C-alpha cells in the first residue's frame, strides 16, 4: 500500500492514540474457509446466509462514504448498491487466488457504491467548476514555487480572503473525496494479499496498461511524500489506518472540520501533481 510514515516529534503519542482508537473497532469475522473451503459452488441458501453475515460490512462501508456526502444522498441507496456489490463478490470470488473473501467483498461493495454515486451525477456544476479552479491554482503555484503552496498564497491567487478560501474547501470536499477513492480503487500493488491485488476483470490484464498504472503509482507515492507533514498524516490515517475524520481530529488535536480541510487540500495537491505529469507526457 501507499502507506506514508511521518517523522513528527510526538510520534509515540500519536501512535498510542491511534492504537487506542483502532481498538474500539469491531472486527468482522472472515468466512472464506467456512463457505469456500470445500471448493464447491454455493447453494442459494448459503448465498443468502453469506449476505446476512456480511450485511454489517455493507453498512460500515456505506456509512464511511456517507459521512463525506451531502445529506440529500440517501444512506439506504448506498446500502442497496452495497448489497449488489456483495452479491457480485459472492458470484465472482475465486478462492484459488489466495485472497480472503472479506477483503474481496469490501472491494466490490465499495466499488458498487462509488459506481452508483457517479451515475447519480449529484455534484452541481458550480462545485465541479470551483474544484477545477482550485486544482489549477495549486498546480500553477506549486510548479512555480517548487514547494507546497500555503493557504494564504492559494487564496490570493484565487482573489479570496482566507475565510472564503476555507469555506470553498468545505464546499468541494465531497468531489475530491470521490476522486481519490476512484484512484485508490484502481491502484495496483505487488502484495498478493492487498485489497487491490488479484482483483481484476475476467479478461486478461494488458501488460502495457499495468506498466502505465505502475508508473502512476510511483508518481503518486512521490506526490504524497512531498505533501506538508500534517496533510501526509491525515492521508495515512484516513486511507490506510481506516480512521474517520473525527477520530483523526482527536488524535491530532484538531476539529473534524479542520481535518476535512487538510484532506481536501492534500487531494487537490495530488490531483494537481498528476495533472502536471500528464501535461509533461503529452508535450
pLDDT at 41 over 60: yes
**For residue 161, what pLDDT is reported?**
96
pLDDT at 165 over 90: yes
Pick the range with the lowest mean pLDDT from 1-10, 179-188, 196-205.
Answer: 196-205
Instruction: Among 122, 145, 178, give the residue marking a domain's end.
Output: 122
Distance set, CA 73 to CA 68, 120, 207 (Å): 10, 10, 38
Look at residue 276 and tell me if it is in a domain.
yes
Domain of 225, CATH number, reads 1.10.10.10
Q: Residue 58: which of 76, 79, 77, 31 has the closest Cα?
A: 79
Same domain, 66 and 35: yes
**For residue 136, what pLDDT is reported?**
92
Instruction: Among 91, 122, 153, give the residue marking a domain's end.
Output: 122
**For residue 274, what pLDDT is reported?**
80
Using a pLDDT cut of 70, give the percent of the chain over it: 72
Is there a contact between 186 and 213 (Cβ–Cβ < 8 Å)?
Answer: yes
pLDDT band at 254; cut points 50, 70, 90: very high
Is there a contact between 270 and 180 (Cβ–Cβ < 8 Å)?
Answer: yes
Instruction: Among 95, 122, 149, give the residue marking a domain's end.
Output: 122
On the CB side of 11, CA atoms within 13 Å amount to 7
Same domain, 210 and 229: yes
**For residue 14, what pLDDT is reported?**
54
In terms of residue numbers, what domain contains 63?
Answer: 26-122
State how many domains the chain has: 2
- Rounded to an integer, the average pLDDT of 134-151 is 93
pLDDT at 179 over 80: no
Look at residue 11 and tell me if it is in a domain.
no
Same domain, 105 and 131: no
**For residue 89, what pLDDT is reported?**
93
Q: Give the 3-state DSSP-derived string for 20-59, with helices as H, strands as E and coil as C.
A: HHHCCCCCCCCCHHHHHCCCCCCCHHHHHHHHHHCHHHHH
Same domain, 167 and 152: yes
Domain of 80, CATH number, reads 1.10.1740.10
Same domain, 111 and 148: no
Is there a contact between 256 and 245 (Cβ–Cβ < 8 Å)?
Answer: yes
Same domain, 191 and 105: no
Q: Sign of the C-alpha dihedral, residues 217, 222, 226, 230?
A: positive
Q: Considering the chain, what is the average pLDDT of its residues?
A: 78
Same domain, 143 and 251: yes
Pick the range with the lowest mean pLDDT from 11-15, 174-178, 238-242.
Answer: 11-15
Best-predicted range by mean pLDDT among 83-97, 111-125, 236-250?
83-97
pLDDT at 7 over 70: no
Amino acid at each position: 500500500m501507499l502507506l506514508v510514515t511521518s517523522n513528527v516529534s510526538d510520534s509515540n503519542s500519536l501512535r498510542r492514540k491511534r492504537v487506542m482508537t483502532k481498538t474500539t473497532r469491531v472486527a468482522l469475522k472472515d468466512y472464506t474457509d467456512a463457505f469456500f473451503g470445500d471448493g464447491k459452488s454455493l447453494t442459494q441458501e448459503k448465498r443468502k446466509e453469506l449476505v446476512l453475515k456480511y450485511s454489517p460490512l455493507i453498512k460500515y462501508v456505506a456509512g464511511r462514504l456517507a459521512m463525506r456526502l451531502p445529506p440529500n444522498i440517501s444512506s439506504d441507496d448506498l446500502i442497496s448498491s452495497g448489497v449488489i456489490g456483495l452479491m457480485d463478490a459472492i458470484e465472482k470470488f475465486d478462492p484459488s487466488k489466495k485472497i480472503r473473501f472479506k477483503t474481496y467483498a469490501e472491494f466490490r461493495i465499495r466499488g458498487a457504491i462509488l459506481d452508483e454515486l457517479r451515475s447519480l451525477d449529484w455534484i452541481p456544476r458550480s462545485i465541479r467548476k470551483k474544484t477545477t479552479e482550485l486544482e489549477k491554482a495549486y498546480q500553477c503555484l506549486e510548479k512555480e514555487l517548487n514547494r507546497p503552496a500555503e493557504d494564504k498564497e492559494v487564496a490570493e491567487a484565487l482573489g479570496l480572503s482566507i475565510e472564503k478560501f476555507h469555506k470553498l474547501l468545505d464546499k468541494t470536499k465531497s468531489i475530491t473525496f470521490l476522486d481519490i477513492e476512484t484512484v485508490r480503487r484502481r491502484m495496483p500493488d505487488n502484495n498478493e494479499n492487498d485489497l487491490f491485488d488479484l482483483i481484476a476483470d475476467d479478461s486478461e490484464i494488458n501488460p502495457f496498461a499495468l506498466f502505465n498504472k505502475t508508473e502512476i503509482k510511483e508518481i503518486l507515492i512521490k506526490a504524497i511524500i512531498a505533501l506538508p507533514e500534517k496533510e501526509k498524516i491525515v492521508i495515512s490515517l484516513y486511507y490506510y489506518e481506516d480512521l474517520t475524520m473525527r477520530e483523526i481530529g482527536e488524535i491530532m488535536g484538531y476539529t473534524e472540520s479542520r481535518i476535512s480541510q487538510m484532506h481536501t487540500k492534500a487531494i487537490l495537491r495530488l490531483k494537481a501533481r498528476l495533472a502536471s505529469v500528464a501535461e509533461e507526457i503529452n508535450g
